[in-house]
Amino acid sequence: MQLKRGCRLWWVAALAVAIDRICKVAVTRAMALSPARTVLPGVLSWAYTQNRGVAFGLLSGAAVLPLLTLALIVLLLVYLLRRPKAGAALRTGLWLIVGGGLGNLYDRLAYGYVIDFIRLDFINFAIFNPADVFVCAGAVLVAIAVLLEDRRKAHG
């Protein structure tokens, strides 16, 4: 029963991976002739890049990146399976992180780099992809869940 509850939200990760793959395949095909395309002028563009590092290109070319990504995913899965009574928000956030991690891990294993293409034109920020969005959204959700749980325990 505990295993079943810990895995209950697996579909969140599966959906994140599917959305990430569909977007990356569509953008890669659409941008075969042009590496940049404006979507909303001054707000959003597609700018195809091959990220061989982690966030912001750090550790570019490090052969250990797929192993680190896999290790982190396994640790999150172990936590999810061992803590089935964790709140739904915490579990959802962790499954989002797993899904985003799997999306980028697929790229690293299949291509040797991660496909990034989302560029925010109104701010000087890194180019990213849907998997990155899922990882960040999951991390925010986990942080909120932990803070709310701490607050609940403090106020008994």
Which among 20, 121, 132, 150 is annotated as catalytic?
132
C-alpha Rg value of the chain to the nearest Å:
17
**For this structure, is 116 an active site residue?**
yes
Length of the chain: 156
Euclidean distance between CA atoms 120 and 110, whole angstroms: 27
The residues carrying an active-site annotation are: 116, 132
